[in-house]
């Protein structure tokens, strides 16, 4: 039987349209490049800043201080090795910075910045 049809062949009609907050957002990954942000409207009348491209990261050093460092390259990503080739910034990715190798500790595509810890 066709999905969405009754046994008699008639259609089932939805009672209402989908609400704005029920729509899914397009999955956007932060990539290496000139910094570019985007502001999304989210439920509750709030705004969420997501990052589309980034070229700097807030890196926590061994001494416990945070410094801003330039991102040179994405070395590897735990989810998929092809993401590293596309220079995608995501949680757990190993990046090469001006301070040394670092691991991304947040979700840049959700937070609007890149935080990392030196390895």
Q: Do 60 and 52 meet the contact criterion of CB atoms below 8 Å apart?
A: no
- Give domain limits for the chain: 28-118
Mean pLDDT of 13-19: 88
Class in CATH terms, 28-118: alpha beta
pLDDT band at 27 (very low <50, low <70, confident <90, very high): confident
- Cα separation, 92 vs 14, whole angstroms: 42
- Cα separation, 51 vs 53, whole angstroms: 6
- Cα separation, 34 vs 22, whole angstroms: 32
Q: Is the pLDDT of residue 41 over 70?
A: yes
Q: Do 76 and 102 meet the contact criterion of CB atoms below 8 Å apart?
A: no
β-pairing verdict for 100-104 and 94-97 = antiparallel
Q: Is the pLDDT of residue 77 over 90?
A: yes
Q: Is the pLDDT of residue 6 over 80?
A: yes
């Amino acid at each position: 039987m066709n999905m969405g049809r009754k046994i008699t062949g008639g259609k089932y009609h939805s009672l209402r349209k989908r609400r704005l907050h029920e729509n899914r957002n397009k999955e956007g990954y932060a990539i290496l490049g000139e910094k570019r942000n985007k502001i999304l409207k989210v439920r509750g009348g709030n705004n969420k800043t997501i990052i589309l491209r980034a070229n700097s990261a807030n890196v926590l050093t061994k001494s416990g201080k945070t410094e801003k460092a330039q991102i040179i390259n994405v070395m590897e990503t735990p989810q998929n090795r092809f993401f590293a080739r596309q220079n995608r910034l995501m949680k757990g990715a190993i990046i090469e910075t001006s301070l040394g190798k670092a691991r991304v500790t947040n979700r840049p595509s959700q937070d609007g910045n890149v935080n990392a810890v030196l390895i």
